[in-house]
Amino acid sequence: MTGAGEAELALDTEALSEQGAGLEVAVVGAGALGATAAYDLVREGTDVVLYDRGDVASGSSGRAAGICYDAFADDLDAEIGGESIERFRALSGDDTFPFVECPYVWLARDGDPERADAIREQVRRMQENGTVAFEMDDGALADRFPALRTDDVELAGIAGAAGYVDPSAYTTCLAAAATGAGATLETDTPVSIRTDPPRVVYSDGRTREFDAVLVAAGAHTAALLADAGVALAMKPYRVQALVADADFPEPMCYDATGGFYVRPHADGILAGDGTETREADPAGYDRDADPAFADDLLERIAHRVPSIASAGDARPERAWAGLCTATPDRDPLVGAVRDGLYVATGFQGHGFMRAPAIGRRLADELLGGSGIDAFDPTRFDGDEEFDVAEGLALDPN
């Protein structure tokens, strides 16, 4: 193990804190957020059991894009984004997972003044927050990123503190670090949740009580909480992505007008759009991409990345669909919903990139620290009516 990741992921149990000694915590969901929280809890001396109905990273984390940035206008979002970026860097290493530094660009095309104005406002607020971000017109963008077509760009925003990660590699690494430090991992173990006292119920009827239960089960979180008599204002929605054989060195790019993103990938490019703004059934949604999805998306990407069009040989290697989770105000639900029962969901597609910071803050809250007031899940009753909104959509407010 080399690099900064060696120091933080070293599994020296003698160096563990005793802050959580004597506490037993169940973490339900071995995705990026659950694995991070489990790791941080066990490092504080907590007795942790990490459950998953499938395998580590078998849900939304394994289908995430792995794009990581701090390009948020809101103060809190920017703070969490920046903290996550720094932690990705700190944990990465030759024997952990790679964090590849790569600028993030988001742009609006000519004839799209509302999105251009939103970018201006976002960049202004990011700079006020101390985030490294700035505007570029089409000429400056072409000089900085020759791989992009820019003659139809009205305005772009650039965030320098950004990069990409293999979500499965990160999640597997954190789960392994947690178990190496003493946590118990129970995969292929579906459980249900009960309260008063907090406990998990196995499929064979066995019950185990805990001091606290954290449910970080992605799109399945609302159903798990409903079984415990807790309603959440969260809706899962379906998104699509692909990996294709094509040459694209940088940047990571979100074409807001075109409604798609693209980033470099070890096998070429990773790209996505296909957001369905309606509620999906996490137990029965179609995990395969739509038949026309790959060809349509690659055609639009070729407009933005001319080398793909000129080569004419961008071949989809694989395409898939996953689930994101929406809330009425597009902010996540993070924290306690009842005594001893905690939740983390509703990230609008930004859950993986926030996992290092949110996981650590959740662990702190479970051990008696303060929560994230703005993300308090009890700010909603749970029966609110709301429309699903795409997580990447530009919003100047």
pLDDT number for residue 274: 73
Same domain, 260 and 351: no
Same domain, 247 and 315: yes
Specify burial of residue 292 (Cβ count, 10 A radius: 0-12, 13-18, 19+).
exposed
Tell me whether residue 146 is in a domain: yes
Tell me whether residue 393 is in a domain: no
For residue 397, is pLDDT > 60? Answer: no
Same domain, 57 and 140: no
pLDDT in tens, 346-361: 999 999 999 999 999 9
Same domain, 337 and 207: yes
pLDDT number for residue 310: 65
pLDDT in tens, 211-252: 999 999 999 999 999 999 999 999 999 999 999 999 899 999
Order of strands, sheet of 133-136, starting from the edge strand that comes earlier in the sequence: 133-136, 153-159, 104-109, 252-255, 260-265, 268-273, 235-245, 315-326
Same domain, 180 and 116: no
Among the ranges given (228-242, 249-263, 308-322), the one the predictor scored with the smallest mean pLDDT:
308-322
CATH classification of the domain holding 156: 3.30.9.10
- Give the closest residue to 247 by CA, choosing from 297, 312, 159: 312
Report the DSSP pairing between strands 260-265 and 341-345: unpaired
Range of 194's domain? 23-65+167-233+328-379
| HSE-up (13 A, CA, CB side) for residue 77 | 18
Tell me whether residue 186 is in a domain: yes
Interior angle at CA 118, CA 115 and CA 124, nearest 5: 145
Q: Distance (Å, rounded) from C-alpha 154 to C-alpha 152?
A: 7
Same domain, 229 and 253: no
Domains contained in the chain, number: 2
Same domain, 173 and 223: yes
CB-CB contact of 51 with 29 (8 Å): yes
CATH classification of the domain holding 343: 3.50.50.60
pLDDT in tens, 154-163: 999 999 889 9
For residue 314, is pLDDT > 80? Answer: no
Task: Give me the chain's average pLDDT, please.
Answer: 92
Last residue in a domain, options 306, 326, 346:
326
Helix (H, G, I), strand (E, B) or coil at 75: helix
Order of strands, sheet of 67-69, starting from the edge strand that comes earlier in the sequence: 67-69, 162-165, 99-101
Same domain, 147 and 242: yes
Same domain, 175 and 229: yes
Tell me whether residue 174 is in a domain: yes
For residue 6, is pLDDT > 50? Answer: no
Same domain, 249 and 219: no
- The structure's pTM equals 0.93
Same domain, 114 and 151: yes
For residue 76, is pLDDT > 60? Answer: yes
The DSSP code for 284 is T
Tell me whether residue 12 is in a domain: no
For residue 2, is pLDDT > 60? Answer: no
Same domain, 175 and 315: no
For residue 313, is pLDDT > 80? Answer: no
